[in-house]
Each structure stands twice: as structure tokens, then as C-alpha cells.
Amino acid sequence: MDWALVFKAVNLLALIAWAALILLPRWPALLSAILYLGVGLLCAVYACGLIGVVSGLIPNAGGGGADFTTIPGIRAIFATDGGVTIGWTHYLAFDLFVGLWIARDADAKNISRLIQAPILFATLMAGPIGLGIWLLVREPAARRQGRFR
């Protein structure tokens, strides 16, 4: 398995989806494409990689099984190119999904795209920080609208 190629491919896919989310008009078809072709494909790559490596169908040099219950076990997983690529794909999928939710929620609350852009960028670079910032910005906007949806 050429993990470097998979790593480059998932990064490119995520970058294209994030650029579209931040820069392009948010037409329903674009948001659907980001969800299904962006998040969905990242999820599929993640699932295939994880199932393949854990089952032994995809060789992962030095992998020797997956122990998710200890720090040394997690360290061993991430000590392989496959483990890093699969883990990174996990981050990319979830961060993009959260970014899509933030964008949709911000649009529904009439938050300016100029305010959204740095929050979305923070979500791209450090997912939980961007989400935390959005939750702080979102709360007063939700109160102004009289609802917490």
C-alpha cells in the first residue's frame, strides 16, 4: 500500500472541500457535494484503511495489531505510515464535517462570511479550537433569534 499517495490524496480532497466551503457561494448542490464527496469519501477511505489494516488485509509494516486501550498501543499505531494516514484521515473527515455544520449554522444565523472565514480556518487547522470559538460566537446569535437551533 502506498500510504504516501493516500495521504496526499486525502489532503488534496480536504483542501478542495475546505476552499469551496470558505470561498464559494453556498448553493445547496455545493454543500451536498462537500458532505458526500468530501466528508463521505474521507469516511470511506478511513473505513477501508482501518478495516484493512486491523484485519490484516492491508499490510502495515510494524503494525502488529491495534491496541486502542493504552498509550503505548496508540503510539504503536501512529508509529506506522498506515496508522498516521488513517488517523489523519479521521481528523480530516471530522473537522470538515464540523466546518460544514458551522457554515450552515452561521448562514442560518446570518453571521457574516467575514466572521465565518477565520472560524472555519481555525476549524481546518485545529478542529476543537475552531468549534469552541464558533460555540462562543453562536450563543448570542442564537439568543437574538430566540432559539438554540
pLDDT tens profile 71-80? 888 888 888 8
Return d(Cα 139, Cα 72) in angstroms, integer.
39
Query: What is the domain range of residue 59?
Result: 3-145
Summarize pLDDT for 109-141 with one digit per residue, the tens.
Answer: 999 999 999 999 999 999 999 999 999 999 988
- What is the number of structural domains in the chain? 1
Tens digits of per-residue pLDDT, 11-64? Answer: 999 999 999 999 999 999 999 999 999 999 999 999 999 998 888 888 775 555
**From the CB of residue 54, how many other CB atoms can be counted at a distance below 10 Å?**
16
Q: How far apart are the first and last CA of the chain?
A: 44
pTM: 0.90
Report the distance separating Cα 142 and Cα 123, nearest Å. 20
